[in-house]
Amino acid sequence: MAARVVLQQCLSARLQVKPAEEGTAAEYVQIERGTLIYVCFFKGATVDLIPKMFKSLLNVRLCEDNEGNHVSVLDLPANVLIIPQATLGGKLKGRAMQYHDNIGKEDGKELFAQFVAHCEKELASNSKCAEVGVVVKHGTYGSRQVLQIDTNGPYTHLIEF
Verify binding: residue 17, its own copies, rule CB under 8 A: no
Neighbours of 137 (CB within 10 A): 20
CB 152 to its own copies: min, Å: 6
CB 75 to its own copies: min, Å: 10
CB 102 to its own copies: min, Å: 12
Verify binding: residue 72, its own copies, rule CB under 8 A: yes
Verify binding: residue 154, its own copies, rule CB under 8 A: yes
Beta strands in 11-155 (DSSP E): 12-18, 27-31, 34-41, 63-64, 70-71, 79-84, 91-93, 96-98, 136-138, 147-150
Verify binding: residue 157, its own copies, rule CB under 8 A: yes
- Measured from the CB atom, the residue of 48 and 95 that comes closer to its own copies is 95
- Measured from the CB atom, the residue of 15 and 136 that comes closer to its own copies is 15
Q: Specify whether the backbone of 142 is left (phi greater than 0), alpha (psi in -120 to 50) or beta.
A: left
Verify binding: residue 87, its own copies, rule CB under 8 A: yes
Give exposure, 64-99, as e/b (b: 16+ Cβ within 10 Å): beeeeeebbbbbbbbbbbbbbbbebbbeeeeeeeee
Verify binding: residue 114, its own copies, rule CB under 8 A: no
Verify binding: residue 90, its own copies, rule CB under 8 A: yes
Q: What is the DSSP letter of 45?
A: -
**Which chain residues interact with its own copies by CB under 8 A?**
4, 6, 38, 56, 59-62, 70, 72, 83, 85, 87-88, 90, 92, 95-97, 144-159
